[in-house]
Structure 1
Amino acid sequence: MTNLVIVESPAKAKTIEKYLGKGFTVRSSYGHIRDIQKKGMGIDIPNGFAPQYEISPDKKKTVSELKKLAKTAETVWLATDEDREGEAIAWHLAEALNLNVAETKRIVFHEITQTAIQKAIAEPRTVDMDLVDAQQARRILDRIVGFELSPVLWKKIRTGLSAGRVQSVAVRLIVEREREIDAFESEYVFRLQGKLGLLDTQQNTVGEVDVKRNAAFDTEEEAESFLKMLSQGQLSVASLEEKPAKKSPKPPFTTSTLQQEAASKLGFSVKQTMSVAQRLYESGKITYMRTDSLNLSEEALASASKVIASQYGDAFVHTRRYKTKKADAQEAHEAIRPTDFSVSEVSGERNEQRLYQLIWRRAIASQMADARLKRTTVEIAISNMPAEKLVAKGEVIEFEGFLKVYQLDADNEEGMLPPMTIGQALSLGALVVRQSYSRAPARYNEASLVRTLEEMGIGRPSTYAPTIDTIQARGYVVKEDREGQPRNYRQLELTADGIDAETLTEMAGSEKNKLFPTDIAGIVTDFLVKHFGDVLDYQFTAHVEDEFDEIAQGKESWQQMLQNFYQQFHPRVEAAEDVSREEAGQSRALGNDPTTGKPMFVKIGRFGPYVQLGDGENDEKPTFASLVTGQKMDTIKLEEALELFKLPRVVGEAPEGFSASAIDGTVFSVEKGQEIIAKQGPFGPYLEYGPKKYAPIKGFDPLAITLEESMALIEAKIVAEAEKIVRVFEGTDVVILKGRWGPYITDVTTKKNAKIAKTEDPQKLTLEECQKRLDEAPEPKKRGRAAAKKTTAKKAPAKKVATKKAPAAKKS
C-alpha cells in the first residue's frame, strides 16, 4: 500500500476513495479516538494543565487496525474535518499512531468533490498546532468547570446535576426569559382595521381597500366615539404616494442561520438539522456544514452566475461577496452551499431532499438581483375629523429577482391596491375595532436560542446542537407544546345599522416546541449566579470564546489563558463548600399557616417541587403536598400552597355507572355512587375511582375539576383499557396488547414481552409463534424498591468508583 488517508466518517471514506483511485486506501477513525482520561479530573493542573489522554475503549480496535495500515504505508494523509475539532483529531491520530506530527501530511477540503480532493492532495500542510491548542484549551477549561462545579451542586442541591460553561449560560437565558414572562403584566389597547368601498363618480362600488388607523385607542369609549363620528362623515382619498422599493436576498447559510431557517420552514430541531446536513456533506452534495463564514469561492460565484443566467436570464444575475462580521470565522473557507449549483434537487431520504433544496435556494438567491417593487401609501380623510386619517398600503412586484427562487417571510407584505385618484370617495365597509393585548416576551425555541447565543458570542456553531441536547437530557429544560388559556376580549363592529359591541373569547398563550425551564433550573441558576457569577456572566463567556480564537491565531498561550481563569475560579469553588443547602435555594419560606400557625416552605425533592407544612420540631411530623402543573417554586404564594393541602379532594360520586368490555371478557368499569377523589402524585394529579383504579388529570386543575369533567376523563381511561387487549389465547397466560408503539406479546405471569413487527397482523400469529418469541425474549427488568436495593447491594464498590468518575464526563 502506497498511501493511507484517514478521515473521520466511514460514509466520507467511501466517497473519497472513489475519487482518489488506485494507490490510495481510505479509512475512518469514526470521530475522536482519544479523550481526557475518565479517572479523576485527568488534568495535571500544577504541571501547566497537562491533559492525560487515553484511547477510548470503543476505539482501541480502530486504532490497532490503523496502526497496522500506517506501518505498511509510504505516506499517511490526515484528512479529518477542517475545523478545530478536526485538527485536534488529526493531532491525536498522529500521536496514537506514532507518526511525526511535524512531517505527517495534513489535508483539508470544505467539499467532497473530485476537484477539491485532488487539490487538497496537491497542497498538503502539517497539523496546525495553534488550532489544536485552541481546541485543547476549550476541552480542558470545560472539564475543569464541569469537574469542580458539578460536585458542588450534588452536595448543595441534588445529586445527578451538572454544570458547564456554555450549558449553564444557556439555561440561565431560558430561566431569565421565563421570569420576564412571569413578571409581565399585559396591557391592552383597541385597534381599528377593516375594509372601505372605493366609489366611482356615479357612487358605484368599484373595488375594496384594506385600511387601518395607525394610532390605537386607549379605551373602548374612545373607540366607540370614533366609530360614531366616522359613520356620520364623508371619506375621500387625501393623498397618494408611490415609491420604488427593493428587497435584497439574505447571504448564504452559516451553521446557525441554517439551524434557524430549517426550524422555521421545515420544522427541524437543531440536532436533526445537523444530522441531515452531515449526511448531505458526507455524500458530497453540500460543503462543510460547521462554519460561520459568509464567503463563497470565486469558483462557486462563477458557477452560480452561470446557472442563474441559464435558468432565469442575465437580468437575474447579481454577483455578491458577503463579508463575515467575525474576522476569524470558524477557520472555514466558505458558507454552506451546494457543491454543484446546477443540481437543484437530490435523490435520497425526504428530509435530505428538503434541506438540500433549502440550502440550494438560499445560496443561489444570494447571487441573484434585488426584487424591485412599487409601494403605495394612501391616506384617507374623514370630513368631520380633519385631524384623523385612515391609511391603506400596498405593493406591486415589478421585477421578481431573487424572489423567483427564495421567498422571504411574508408577515409584513401588503397586497395590491386598486387604482385610485386624489379626492376619490369611499364608502364604509366592514370596520372592526378589536381589543388587543400586549404580549409577554417570547419563550425560546431551539432556533431562537441558537440565534441569541450566536449574537452574544457564546459558544460556536459546533457547540449549539450538543448544548441544547445536554440541557434537556439533564432535566433543566423541557421542550413541549402547551395549550393556551381562554381570554375574553371586546370587539366593536360598525355596520349599516349602527355599532355592534360584543364580548368574544380567544385562546391566548398557546406554545409549540418551546423551551421551558424546570424548577431545578431556576435553583441551580440562582446558586451559580450568586457564587460563580463570572462563569455565568454573558460577557465573560463570550470573552472566553474570543480567547480561544486568540490561541487559534497563535496570539495567546493556552496554558496562560487557563491559569488566568483558574486563579479566579478555584477559590470560589472552595468558598462554596460553606454554603448551606437552604442558602443554595433548596428551601423558601412562604409564611405561617393562619389556622395552625405552623411554618410553610416550598422545597425541591426527588420527584420535583413540593410544599411542607411544619418544621418537624417537637417530634411533630410535617405534612407535604406536591405542586400542581403550572405552579412554580419561584412564584407560588402562601395562599396557593394552602390550597394544595385540600388534596386529596372528594369531587363527588359517579352519577351513573359506566363499563367497557375487552375481547377476553374483562370488564373495566366505574359503579354508580363510586366516590371520585382528586389526588396529587409524584408524576402529577390523578383521579381515584375505586381500589387501584386511576385516571390521570390532564388539562384540568385538580382543585377545581368538576364531577362532569372527572367522569369524562374516567370514561376515556376505561375505554382505553378495554381497547388495550388485542387478542387472548384461551387457557394460557399469553396475551397480545396494544402499546404505545403498537401491538406486542406479553405473558401476564412472567411479565415478559416480545415484539410484533409493524408489517405483521397480530390476529394471524399462532400461540406457538408467540410462545417461541416470549422464550427468546430477555427477562424483564426488575423495578421498584426491591430491585433498587438489590442493584445497590451488588454494585456497591463500583458505585464508589463511579462517583469519582462522574465529574470527568461532564461537558458544557
Structure 2
Amino acid sequence: MAKSLIIVESPAKAATIKKYLDDSFEVEASAGHIKDLPKTTLGVDVEKGFKPHFVIVPGKKKIVDKLKKAAAKADVVYLAPDPDREGEAIAWHIFEEIEKVSPKIERVLFTEITKASVRKALEVPRQLDRFMYESQLARRTLDRLVGYQISPILWRKVQRGLSAGRVQSVAVRLVVEREREIEAFDPKEYWVIDALVERPGIDVQPFKVTLRRWQGKRADIPSAKVTQAVLDEVKAATMSVIAVERKDRRRPAMPPLITSTLQQEASRLLRFSPSHTMALAQRLYEGVDLGPEGRVGLITYMRTDSVRMSADAVDAIRALVGQRFGPQYVPAKPIFYKNKRSAQDAHEAIRPTLIDKTPDSVKSFLGRDEFRLYQLIYNRALASQMAAAIYDQTVVDISAGAAQFRASGSVLRFDGYLAATRSGQKEAVEPSDDEFAQADFLPGNLEVGQAVRLVDLRSEQKFTEPPPRFSEATLVRELEERGIGRPSTYATIVGTVQSKGYVDKVDGRLRPSELGRIVNDLLVRHFANVVDYDFTAKMELELDEVEEGQKTRLDVLNGFYDEFSATVETATNEMRSIKAEALPAGLDCELCGSPMLIRFGKNGAFIGCSNYPECKNTGEFERDERGRIHKKAVADVGDCPECGAKLQVRQGRFGPFVACSTYPACKFTKPFSREERCPAEGCTGHLVEKRSKRGKPFFGCDRYPECTFVTGLSPAPGPCPQCGAPTLFQRSFRGAKTTVCAREGCGWSSRPAKKTA
C-alpha cells in the first residue's frame, strides 16, 4: 500500500489528524520551527542581499533526522503546518531538509481540524507559497536587524541585557506616552445638576431628569457660582414637558470574532490575558479529546483578521438559530460583514467547526477556561447571524426657565441576538436609600404640554478625568487600529514588553517601568523612524505587498536598511550614556541636600545621592500621579543585629529580601519571610519567595539549608485535612485551580481522585 506522510508543527494536531485517516497515512510533528537565525550572531549577510544563515534549532536535530527518515519511506509528503506566514516558513524549512529524500512534496492547509476538512484539504494540495515565505523572511530579517543592532547600543549606554524590537518598542512607546498624558492631565471642574420631578395628580413616584441646556447652549457648568444661578432659576420657574420623542432603536449583532477581538472580549468578559487566550484557542483548534468520539478540533484557525464565514457555516448557523430560537430570530438574508481595508482575508473568522457541538455538549471534556472561551466563540458566531435587538426608546425634554432638562429611557421589545449572548439581561441592582437613584426611570405616558412640578434639586461637583491606562486588551485594540503588528503577533508583543521589564501590570493596567521610560526616550530621540507609529504600520503594509507579489523582499529591506544603518552609526556615537551620567530625580538628598539621581542597578532603577561616595544615601522610589519622584517609605521590619540601624525590605534579582538601611556601610541581609509556615514535617520555618535565574518565582523555607523544601506552587490557607501541614498550595491546570498538600508522602488534593476499575 502506498504510504503518505503528513507533517504538522504540533504533536496535539498530529494526534487529532491521525484519528481521521487510515493506515496509509503517517503523521509526524516538527514541534514548531526546526530552523532559525543563530542566537549569538546577526545571521544576516547584508552585503549579499540580506542572505539569512539559518541553523537547526538547538535540540531539534533528532526531530529533523526523524522527519527525513519518515519522508524517505513515503511516496508523497504533505506539509501541513499552520496556514499563515509562520506556518509557511516552517513548511519551507522542512522542505529544504527533506527534498533530497522525498520524490513528491506538497503543501496542504488545514483551517479547521475536523474529519471532513482534513480529507477535503488532502484532495486539493498546492505548492509551497514562495511569496508568503518571502514575506515572513522579510519580517524575520527586519526584526533581527533592529534587535541585533540597537540592543548592543542600549547595553553600552543603559544596562546590559536590554533589547529593542521593531514592534515591541512601538508598543512600549504607546504605554509611555499614555502615562505621560495622564501625568500632564489638568482636571477641569464641572457640575452636574439633577432634578426630581412629577406630574401633579398623575405620577405616584417622581422621576429624575438631568440638565442638558442652559441659556440656549449646551449645559457646561464650570463653577459653583454658575451652578447656584441655575438652581435659583429652576426653583423659581414653571416646568413643563416641551418635547417627547419615541422611536425604535435597533442594535445589530456584532461580527464573529477575529484574533484581536477574541483577545479583547476574553479580557473584558473572562479576565484572560492575550497569551492565555491564544494558548486556549490553540488547544481548541488543534483538537480536544471528546471521549468516544476521540479528538476533534472545535474551532477554526485562531490567527485571522477576517470576519468572513463560509457559506456552509452561515447556513448551518441560520438553521440552528431558527430551530433553537424561532424563525423571527433569523434575518431574511444572511448577514455579511465587511473586513477592514488592512485585513488579509486569508482565513475565515474564528467560529465553531461543528455547530452541533454546543458548549454544554462538550463541557465535560474541557477545562474550565477552555469551556468559557469556547462558549464565547460559539455564542458570538451564533449571534452574528441573528436579527437585531429592538428597543422602544423615549427621550423627554422639560423646560424650567432658561434651563432645559432631559430624561431618556429604553425598554427591550425584542431581544434578537441578545438571546444567544445573554448580554441583554440587566444585572440586579442593589436597593438604595438615595431617592435620586430610586427615581432613575421614565414614565411611559408623557405628553407635550404636561405640567411638571419640581420635587427636589441636586448639584454635584465633578472633575474631568485623564484617559485610562491601557489594559492588555485595549493595547491590542490600539495596535490593531494603528495597523501595527498582525493577528499572530499581538499576544507576543503584549507579553514581551512585560517580560523585558519595560512595562508593569498593576491592578490589571499597564504602566511603564522607569527602565521603559528611559529606553523609550532614547529610541524616540535616536531611532525616530523605528518607533514611529505610521512608519511601523507602513512596514506592515509593505510586508503584505510582498506576500501578494507586488513587492520583493529586497525592495522592503533595501528601502529600510540604508537609512537605518546610518541611524545606528549616529546613535552609537551620540546617544547619551545613562550609565555614566545618570538622570536627575527632581528631589534633594535628605541627608546632605545634594541632588538625587536616578541610577540603574542589576535589580532595577533606584535613586542615589549625587555626592557619592561622600554621601551613600540610596533608596527605591515611586512616582505620584503627576509623574514626580518620591523616595519610597521604608517598611519597619526591625533593627539590624549587627549595627542597630533599621532594617528594610529590598527587591533583589532573586526576590524580596531584608537588608540593613545603612548599606553599603553595613552589609547584613536575611531572607524576607512570609507569614505562611513551611509544610515540611517537623520544620518550624516560614516560606520565602524567591526567583530563579530565569525570573520564575518559587517558594522555599527560610531555614535553608537545614530545610530543603521548595515548590513552584502558590501558598494557600491550611491546614491540610489529611496530614495537618500548616500551609496548602494551589495548582492550576487548564484554568481550573486545585488545592493540594505539598508535604512529602501526603498527596491530599481538593480534587477527587479518579476511580479505577
For Structure 1 versus Structure 2, the TM-score category normalised by the shorter chain is 0.7 to 0.9
Q: Which residue does the alignment assign to 1:724?
A: 677
Equivalent residue letter for 1:463: T
Cα distance change on mapping 1:99 and 1:206 into 2, 3 Å: farther
**Residues 1:529 and 2:528 are matched in the alignment:** no
Summarize the alignment of residues 572-721 of structure 1 with structure 2, pairs less than 5 Å apart. Answer: 572-579=567-574, 581-582=576-577, 587-589=582-584, 590=586, 598=594, 600-614=596-610, 621-630=614-623, 635-636=627-628, 681=650, 721=675
Whole-Å separation in 2 of the counterparts to 1:247 and 1:748: 62
**Is 1:369 equivalent to 2:370 in the alignment?**
no
The one-letter code matched in structure 1 to 2:221 is F
Give the equivalent residue in structure 2 for 1:703: none
Q: Given the alignment of the two structures, is residue 274 of structure 1 paired with residue 278 of structure 2, yes or no?
A: yes
Q: Which residue of 2 aligns with 1:151?
A: 152
Aligned to 1:400: 415
**Contact residue 250 and residue 390 of structure 2 kept, 8 A:** yes
**Of 697, 703, 706, the match for 1:750:** 706
Contact 1:724 1:739 in 2 (8 A): no
Q: How many angstroms apart in 2 are the aligned matches of 1:264 and 1:253?
A: 14
Matched AA of 2:299: I
Residue 456 in structure 1 maps to residue 471 in structure 2: no
Aligned to 1:4: 5
Q: Matches of 1:225 and 1:30 in 2, distance apart?
A: 73
Question: Partners of 2:684 and 2:445 in 1: how far apart?
Answer: 73
Deviation at 1:608, TM superposition (A): 3.5
CA apart distance, 1:695 = 12
Distance 2:472 2:742 in 1: 46
In the superposition, relative to structure 1, how do residues 331 and 81 fare at CA in structure 2: closer, same or farther (>3 Å)? farther
Q: Which residue pairs with 1:308 in the alignment?
A: 321
Are 1:256 and 2:260 counterparts? yes
Deviation at 1:105, TM superposition (A): 1.1
> Matched residues in 1 for 2:710 and 2:413: separation?
64
Consecutive unaligned residues in structure 2, runs of 5 or more: 213-218, 288-296, 428-439, 690-696, 727-740, 746-757
Unaligned runs of 5+ in 1: 482-512, 652-667, 697-716, 775-812
Tell me the distance in 2 between the aligned counterparts of 1:749 and 1:394.
Answer: 68
Which protein has the bigger helix share? Answer: 1
Deviations 1:69-100 (A, max 9, x none): 11111111111111111111111111122358
Which residue number in structure 1 is paired with residue 449 of structure 2? 423
The 10-residue stretch of structure 1 (266-275 or 417-426) with the greater mean CA deviation from structure 2: 417-426
Deviation, structure 1 residue 533: 0.7
Q: How far did residue 739 of structure 1 move?
A: 6.1
Matches within 5 A, 1:101-116: 104-116=105-117
Aligned partners of 1:606 and 1:79: how far apart in 2? Answer: 45
Deviations 1:524-580 (CA, angstroms, capped at 9, x unpaired) = 111111111111111111111111111101111102321221111112111222226
Shift of 1:8: 1.4
CA displacement at 1:51 relative to structure 2: 0.8
1:283-313 residue CA offsets vs partner (Å, 9 max, x unmatched): 1111000000111111111111111111112
Deviation at 1:676, TM superposition (A): 9.5
Identify the residue that residue 533 of structure 2 maps to in structure 1: 538
1:750 is paired with a residue whose SS is coil
**Residue of structure 2 in register with 1:433 after alignment:** 459
* CA deviation map 1:122-147 (0-9, x unaligned): 11101001000000110111011111
Are the structure 2 counterparts of residues 24 and 523 from structure 1 closer, same or farther at C-alpha, using a change threshold of 3 Å?
A: same
Aligned pair count?
677
Residues of 2 paired with 1:229 and 1:686: CA distance? 64
Partner of 1:243: 247
Matched, 1:388 2:392: no
Q: Distance in 2 between matches of 1:533 and 1:101?
A: 48
Query: Are positions 1:467 and 2:493 aligned together?
Result: yes
CA distance in 2 between counterparts of 1:772 and 1:554 reads 61
Q: Deviations over 1:175-219 (max 9, x none)?
A: 111111111111121102354334435xxx424423211224222
For the residues of structure 1 that align with 2:678 and 2:588, how far apart are their CA atoms? 51
Determine the C-alpha separation between the residues in 1 that align with 2:373 and 2:226: 51
What corresponds to 1:333 in structure 2?
Answer: 347
Structure 1 pair 100–225 and aligned structure 2 pair: CA distance change class (3 A):
farther
Residue identity in the other structure for 2:555:
Q
Aligned partner of 1:350: which letter? R
TM-score by structure 2 length? 0.81
| Letter of the 1:568 counterpart | E
Q: Which digits, 9 at most, give the CA deviation of each residue in 1:32-79, with x for residues without a partner?
A: 111112341111111111111111122211111111111111111111
d(CA) in 1 for partners of 2:679, 2:123 = 65
Q: Report the Cα distance in structure 2 between the residues aligned to 1:755 and 1:682, rounded to whole angstroms.
A: 20
- Change beyond 3 A, Cα 1:72–1:631: same
C-alpha contact (below 8 Å) 1:293/1:324 kept by paired residues: yes
| Conserved? CA contact 1:687–1:695, under 8 Å | yes
CA distance in 1, matches of 2:341, 2:30: 31
Change (3 A) 1:669 1:446: closer
The answer to whether the aligner puts 1:566 opposite 2:561 as a matched pair is yes
Q: Secondary structure at the match of 1:556?
A: coil
Q: Give the one of 294, 303, 317 matched to 2:330.
A: 317
Alignment of 1:556 onto 2:556: no
Q: CA deviation at 1:429?
A: 4.2
Question: Does the 8 A contact of 1:194 with 1:212 survive in 2?
Answer: yes
Q: Percent identity?
A: 37
- 1:33-48 alignment to 2 at 5 Å? 33-48=34-49
Q: What displacement does 1:584 show?
A: 8.7
What is the SS of the residue equivalent to 1:288? coil
Structure 2 Cα separation of the partners of residues 97 and 200 of structure 1: 89
What is the deviation of 1:424? 3.2
In 2, distance between residues paired with 1:560 and 1:30? 32
Question: Scaled by the length of structure 1, what TM-score is found?
Answer: 0.76
Task: Supply the distance in 2 between the matched residues of 1:160 and 1:9 (Cα, whole angstroms).
Answer: 31
Pick the structure with greater CA Rg.
1
Distance 1:241 1:44, change over 3 A: same
Q: 1:312 to 1:242 in 2, by over 3 A?
A: same
Counterpart of 2:97 in structure 1 is: 96
